[in-house]
Amino acid sequence: MKKNKTYGLRIEIPKKTLKRVDATPMRVHYARMQQPIYDYVKQQLEAAKYRWPTVAAGAGVSLSTLKKIARNEIKDPGVSHVQKLHDYFRSAERSA
């Protein structure tokens, strides 16, 4: 292992821990799950921009909270709100 001047040892990630993403549907689905939940929710909110009232009602989150999350007006939204939105979008994906 190579020495690092600041911390002593250099950390190396074994190749077997890295995942290769194939084009098969299962692998693509798995790769999406590696995305942070908050980023996934933000991406889905942007895609569902004109359906926010429906999304808010289905997820059990107030429309004003959903809008604030989507517009980055809340710097650190509560886990419960983000989890509810995540669960809503995942269930919508599974049923589609």
What residues have CB less than 8 Å from 60, skipping those under 6 apart? 84
pTM, two decimals, is 0.64
- pLDDT at position 10 is 56
For residues 16 and 26, is the Cβ–Cβ distance under 8 A? no
**Tokens 């919508």 -> residue:** 92
Strands of the chain, DSSP E? 3-4, 8-9
Of 63 and 5, the one with more pLDDT: 63
The fold of the 22-95 domain, in CATH, is 434 Repressor (Amino-terminal Domain) (1.10.260)
pLDDT tens digits, residue range 38-79? 999 999 999 999 999 999 999 999 999 999 999 999 988 999
**Tokens 């020495």 -> residue:** 3
Three-state DSSP class for 70?
Answer: helix
CA distance 49 to 42: 10
